[in-house]
Structure 1
């Protein structure tokens, strides 16, 4: 039986059911904005993991949902960088410890499915949020309104639309916002492991000639793995017998966590990058992977998206304080002004770091090695890097 068409009018409509979309919808609703979320109600069961840093956790605490997330999250207390290459110029092993900043942890690692389940439940329970259990099919924007139409024909009209519908965003395309895309000769193999030795809250990243090989703690004696390889090697690893795969990954990890057992289905993702030429248009704001995509280096992806959300909520609040509607040009320009410098600097930094792992150009290798050496030997420089990683933009402000 076909579902009846509906017409919904609200202040803001968010399109996209990933963490960025659900958090944005929840944040808007909790600030008194009558909000609709257009996305399937069922939370995506994604076995990948996300490391959340300080500012992201602060936002989740403000929304009142961090206590629901915490039981399935694992604290990250130490970041260990190891040069796993055999190049002429190699970086020294470097440790970044949260205790040096006077905090118990840098952040937490959580399986995406667990995060998504908490977010889906919170959205369903929020009285000021209407959940539309559909995919968006059309989007139209004018100076007066944003109108989203779902596949069954439900229409949602709002002063502000927020695009959280991913790198191939329908809303961004409908608004005519152009993007810059690029690719890397790399593919990420992603899976979760059990191991016989405790991780002790230490996240270990081997820098290899093909990219990072990163083990990030999960609750118990488990860790998530991101192994960046050539497409050919990643494909071979993905199709290996799991016992043989575990043995090869253990060898690559130098058995620092003992014997490995693969406990999730291996997934592969070709690495690419993308930035939108603008993060606003008439009645539209872009957040998350609608605005920026880059390789999984330094756990910057969702954390950058969370800063998008925080700045959007700030711009909305400022517009309300001035008596403006939340999708007005002034409100959107305030949001874009806050976001573009952060997006560009983070995208460029991740791109440079990733490419530095791939190059055989000796001056680049020397510069990377020198940077790691200074981080290991010079306390103030190391602490600045740690503060900036936890809360970007505060490297010169926070003092342990």
Structure 2
């Protein structure tokens, strides 16, 4: 029986799995990516802050900039029609000395870029399309059995294998799951007027309705609705759906034309009880699941990867050992917990009909509108968590990354 030996084995062929494999290989670790073919993904992702910094270190920022669209302004409009409504507010990247908050890119384009980069790193990165059938972790290594019958021996197993993670299950790590009374409709559309790099999020009684710019006169859309309403929307004729979207946008982009078939899926969340066990760590949706609100999903997964690489570099002498997995678990705990709580609170506040909740939300947005320092702090934290505490050091450093953000 053939045995493949690598320092790190990444399991999962999605964007976070490819990102982890590329980053670890770039950091000098002999890596194997076990990546069954992922389904086609017509969604987009707004890459922000540290995600772009990480992808720049992988040498990918130029291609991402050419394929994506900069996000220069983020606008929030209270469209709940409730008694206490928050004021409209705009966040401009220029307020925090940036040209843009991030870059919105189609997931299919990002995957194409990742796969091309992986194929160019064959000296340190091997990609195979087999599935993993079993994981056996020992004191000083782990054995993976593949569907082809081959065996992989490795020091560290990275679980990037999604919400039904086999890696998480093999480690005995429990997970807390919850659901929302909502579904998300995702699609792309063309429009008559320029978006000018502005992303607009309408807060409605059923959840956010968010338009995010794509290159040209095109945008992506995340439309959160009640499940029964979402079913009716995705079954509507393209011309009828286009008019519905234009109405929801209050015609700010003029006439709208939907591209392709819309997708819909129920909203849910999940959080693993820990993010590392002996010889195994979790990244992306194996560790946490978010509703598509606030551009947190993939960005949080790439921050997992960033902290994983740092932990691996600190523990090269025992890659995947108890000290390394405990180090990684500590590094990820606060970031994941705070982002989970923030997204959950925002979403549930929109659903609540209680007047005190409406008043509190309206007052919070009003403060952001009136207090520039608070608004800039929130923007910096949104782009790069923890950056508000490192401003003096950052201001003295030139950003030599070849990016527009």
- Taking the TM superposition and a 5 Å limit, the aligned residue runs for 1:348-367 are 348-367=341-360
> Paired residue for 2:112?
117
Check conservation: 1:14, 1:37, Cα contact below 8 A.
yes
- 1:387 and 2:376 correspond: no
Q: Select 2:41's aligned residue among 43, 46, 52.
A: 46
> Paired residue for 2:69?
74
- Taking the TM superposition and a 5 Å limit, the aligned residue runs for 1:53-64 are 53-64=48-59
Query: Shift of the alpha carbon at 1:43?
Result: 6.3
Decide which moves more: 58-67 or 139-148: 139-148
Query: Shift of the alpha carbon at 1:142?
Result: 2.2
Query: Shift of the alpha carbon at 1:44?
Result: 4.7
Query: Shift of the alpha carbon at 1:333?
Result: 1.0
Give distance in 1, aligned partners of 2:235 and 2:133: 35
SS of 2:40's partner is coil
SS of 1:52's partner is strand
* Cα deviation 1:82-107 (Å, max 9, x = unaligned): 00111110000000001111110000
Q: TM-score, normalised by structure 1?
A: 0.96
> Paired residue for 1:134?
130
- 1:241 and 2:219 correspond: no
Q: TM-score, normalised by structure 2?
A: 0.95
Q: Which runs of 4+ in 1 moved over 2 A?
A: 42-45, 395-400
Pair 61,44 (structure 1): closer, same or farther in 2 beyond 3 Å: farther
Query: Shift of the alpha carbon at 1:337?
Result: 0.7
Check conservation: 1:160, 1:284, Cα contact below 8 A.
yes
> Paired residue for 1:10?
6
- 1:207 and 2:207 correspond: no
Give distance in 2, aligned partners of 1:188 and 1:361: 23
SS of 1:255's partner is coil
- Taking the TM superposition and a 5 Å limit, the aligned residue runs for 1:292-307 are 292-307=288-303
Pair 6,260 (structure 1): closer, same or farther in 2 beyond 3 Å: farther
Give distance in 2, aligned partners of 1:108 and 1:24: 20
RMSD of the alignment, in Å? Answer: 1.2
* Cα deviation 1:83-138 (Å, max 9, x = unaligned): 01111100000000011111100000000000001101111211201111212222
Q: Select 1:30's aligned residue among 13, 26, 35.
A: 26
Unaligned runs of 5+ residues in structure 2 are 396-405
- Taking the TM superposition and a 5 Å limit, the aligned residue runs for 1:152-191 are 152-191=148-187
